[in-house]
Amino acid sequence: GRPGGDPLGGRGLLELAVASGVAAWATWAFLLAPGFRRVPLRLQVPYQPSGHQQVANALALLRGRSGKTVDLGSGDGRLVVEAYKQGLSPAVGYELNPWLLCLANYRAWKAGYHGKVSFLKKDLWKVNLADCYNVIVFLAPSVKPPLAAKLLAELPDEARVVAGRFPFPSWTPSSTLGQGLEQVWAYDMKEVRRAAQSSAEG
């Protein structure tokens, strides 16, 4: 209702609906769509910010590790910033959306890490991951099978992959943490390759 208790009339409801629709379209057109235009439809992943507990769980599974850490589809950069806080360096995020890259760089600047973490406008499918030892993946289930093949082909045996929201369907996790939407899964590449080899031989 309006101030004073007057109910919101039919015209007011229509105006509210139109305004909401315009706001949703503007968010898509200016914040989300730019990162999708160069990516095949089946490999597109909508932006969905990670929750505080999701971030904490993901970083807990990387505690005590070292080496280059990357977030594939880094969005607003919060996972990369937290990884650097934890001592993981270099910490790099790959993201195609220019607006999200600006937000990520602002987040890094606000945390005092400007120039210490990197956010690169690169297609994660075209980046060589051979020098990465910690890989964070908060992506949709549809991209997990092709991404699993890429990670198997490129990552060193010592690498660990941490997946949030959805696990890799064909891999057995080394460890997991959290429940429901906060659950994350860790995969050690040496174990993943050993299991794949045993399956092939079987």
Long-range CB contacts (< 8 A, 24+ apart) of 141-150?
A: 141/166, 141/169, 142/42, 142/43, 142/45, 143/42, 143/43, 143/45, 144/168, 144/169, 145/169, 145/170, 146/43, 147/72, 150/125
Q: Answer positive or negative: Cα dihedral of 154, 37, 92, 141.
A: negative
pLDDT digits (tens, 9 = 90+) for 36-90: 444 444 444 556 677 899 999 999 999 999 999 999 999 999 999 999 999 999 9
**pLDDT-wise least confident of 9-23, 47-61, 103-117, 153-167:** 9-23
Contact 175, 186 (CB under 8 A): yes
What interhelical angle do 78-85 and 52-60 show, nearest 10? Answer: 40
Tens digits of residue pLDDT in 83-127: 999 999 999 999 999 999 999 999 999 999 999 999 999 999 999
